[in-house]
Chains A and B, each alone.
Chain A
Amino acid sequence: MHYILLIISAALVNNFVLSRFLGICPFIGVSKSTDTAIGMSMAVVFVIALASLVTWLLNHYILVAFGLEYLQTIVFILVIAFLVQLVEMIIQKVSMPLYQALGIYLPLITTNCAVLGVALLNINLKYDLLESVIFGTGSAVGFGLALTIFAGMREELELSSIPKVFQGTPIALITAGILSLAFMGFSGLVK
């Protein structure tokens, strides 16, 4: 039950994009069509789950052991970048279809703040290894959910007559705000 609540909390109540405001760049950048949004979401889920696992291990067995917790941010950036590169190479060799499905989105999220955000939050919230991975996956699913919903809305926006000043990113940001309000409705569901 605890783990289910953790997923609901990460995905809906404390949605990464809509209430923590992390990962806004891909949220605006790759939300023009639902196809690319789904591709991006898959890649994010994959990388965040993996990054949660590795950064937790690294933090507990190396940084804490040496008393170097203050280096978390820089080490995590380094490791996440490394991890994405490595995973990309392995996938390309092992599973070409998966590589093509994730496509450009895999290297794109190397520098996504949502990934780093999950890694740091895992430490701050004092989660254990399993909790970290579940929290990471839940957060990424929430990110994907918000991204896909948003992409669907933007596809509809393309067909609407929008005043010229609001066309493009402005209306997208306004829509994101309203979507965020909708997600605020989940607050109080889980602590």
Chain B
Amino acid sequence: MLIATLVVGAIGAVCALILGISLVTFAVKMDAREKEVVEMLPGANCGACGFAGCAALAHEITVNPEAPMACPAVKEDTIKAIAALLERDMGSLEPAVACVRCKGGPQEAPSRYEYVGPRDCRSAQLVAGGPKVCQYGCLGMGSCVTVCLFDAMAMGEDGLPHVNIDTCTGCGKCVEACPRGIIALVPKTGTYCVSCISEDAPKDMKKICSVGCIKCGICADVCPFEAITAEKGKAALIDQDRCRKCGLCTGVCPVSVITGRTVPEKARIIPGACIGCGICEQVCPTEAVSGRAKEPYSVDPGTCIGCGLCLAKCPADAIERYNA
């Protein structure tokens, strides 16, 4: 009895001693702030930042002062709080949201066979390339809705997934989930998006879908910022870095395939800075600018579409945009 107690006690004591020593010898310095950063991050471990979960990102931004705040799901004020905690500049990410680039539900774009397998787009895609005749269109099984960690997506009555822009964090889970690459991330403010990625020739596309991009290229011609590329044999694509959210493309698209949500913005001329050159009047696509040479010009808010063309061309930086 005594020996047993002593032996077990001794083993325990030796173990404790070794652990105690190794705790000091093998100590890895951990930044106490790292834990706080972990708590501030969303905690969904969605992996959108490119790291293995929120803790890994927290470690990276704490240790490396150059590391960008890669989490697309945190709110602006959280980023500021983290920046204050770590005493470093975080920069900011333009908040992104998901955009479903297909308008062809079962009504507009029919199926070629009846699919009865698991209700999952990836499974459906494996069966002879998916039930939809259009090889680029949404399969409508809602895999993107299922993977959304933030309940920001829902299947609409039209058989297509819809994004709730207010709850979408732009984590990109749905982008990965879609086997056809239909979903893209676009900037949250004033998003314009061509809702079609079909590469079929217009006459073939028209036979299988009534709402797709016909690749006419009018949008590319009208875009004042050369933000739209309409390559031959591809649906028009908007370069979100160049897009200035003027919305001209939505107006001219003959098939209304360009969707967008504009922040109602208008241009106004700062009277003191205007040199009265009249360039704005010449470039304005809606003739909203008026005035006389060498005198400050003015913008009629009623006709201004907030395209920002005048802003881009003004040599004196005398035009600003404001939320109307």
Query: Contacts of B120 on A, CB cut-off 8 Å?
Result: 159
Q: Is the CB of A68 within 8 A of B3?
A: yes
Q: Is the CB of B23 within 8 A of A89?
A: yes
Say yes or no for A160: interface residue by CB 8 A criterion: yes
Q: Is the CB of A79 within 8 A of B28?
A: no
Say yes or no for A90: interface residue by CB 8 A criterion: yes
Say yes or no for B8: interface residue by CB 8 A criterion: yes
Q: A58 CA to B11 CA in the complex, in Å? A: 10
Q: Is the CB of B123 within 8 A of A159?
A: yes
Query: Contacts of B7 on A, CB cut-off 8 Å?
Result: 62-63, 66, 68, 71
Say yes or no for A166: interface residue by CB 8 A criterion: no
**Cross-chain contact of A78 among B15, B118, B123 (Cβ < 8 A):** B15
Query: Contacts of B28 on A, CB cut-off 8 Å?
Result: 92-93
**Cross-chain contact of A75 among B11, B23, B118 (Cβ < 8 A):** B11
Question: What 1/0 flags go to B115-131 for Cβ under 8 Å of A?
Answer: 00011100100000000
Q: A85 CA to B52 CA in the complex, in Å? A: 23
Q: A85 CA to B18 CA in the complex, in Å? A: 11
Q: A85 CA to B17 CA in the complex, in Å? A: 13
Main SS class of interface, B: helix
Main SS class of interface, A: helix
Query: Contacts of B22 on A, CB cut-off 8 Å?
Result: 86, 89-90
Query: Contacts of B15 on A, CB cut-off 8 Å?
Result: 78-79, 82
Query: Contacts of A86 on B, CB cut-off 8 Å?
Result: 18-19, 22
Query: Contacts of A62 on B, CB cut-off 8 Å?
Result: 7, 11
In the complex formed, the residue of A with least CB distance to B22 is: A89
Q: A74 CA to B15 CA in the complex, in Å? A: 14
Question: What 1/0 flags go to A57-90 for Cβ under 8 Å of B?
Answer: 0100011001010010011001100100110011
Say yes or no for A161: interface residue by CB 8 A criterion: yes
Question: What 1/0 flags go to B14-36 for Cβ under 8 Å of A?
Answer: 01001100110111100000000
Say yes or no for B324: interface residue by CB 8 A criterion: no
Q: A66 CA to B10 CA in the complex, in Å? A: 13
Say yes or no for B315: interface residue by CB 8 A criterion: no
Closest chain B CB from A32 CB (angstroms): 14
Given contacts A159-B123, A161-B118, contact A78 B19 (CB under 8 A): no
**Cross-chain contact of B4 among A71, A90, A161 (Cβ < 8 A):** A71
In the complex formed, the residue of B with least CB distance to A103 is: B52
Closest chain A CB from B296 CB (angstroms): 62
Given contacts A71-B4, A160-B118, contact A85 B11 (CB under 8 A): no
Given contacts A68-B3, A100-B52, contact A78 B23 (CB under 8 A): no
| 23 residue pairs bridging A and B, Cβ less than 8 Å apart | A66-B3, A66-B7, A68-B7, A71-B7, A71-B8, A75-B11, A78-B11, A79-B11, A79-B15, A82-B19, A85-B19, A86-B22, A89-B22, A90-B22, A90-B26, A92-B28, A93-B26, A93-B28, A100-B52, A100-B56, A159-B120, A160-B118, A161-B119
Interface set of A (CB-CB < 8 Å, partner B): 58, 62-63, 66, 68, 71, 74-75, 78-79, 82, 85-86, 89-90, 92-94, 100, 159-161
* A79-B15, A86-B18, A159-B118 known, 19 other contacts, Cβ within 8 Å: A62-B7, A62-B11, A63-B7, A68-B4, A71-B7, A71-B8, A75-B8, A75-B11, A78-B12, A82-B15, A82-B19, A85-B19, A89-B19, A89-B23, A89-B26, A90-B26, A93-B28, A94-B26, A159-B120
6 closest A-B pairs by CB:
A82-B15, A93-B26, A159-B118, A89-B26, A92-B28, A89-B22
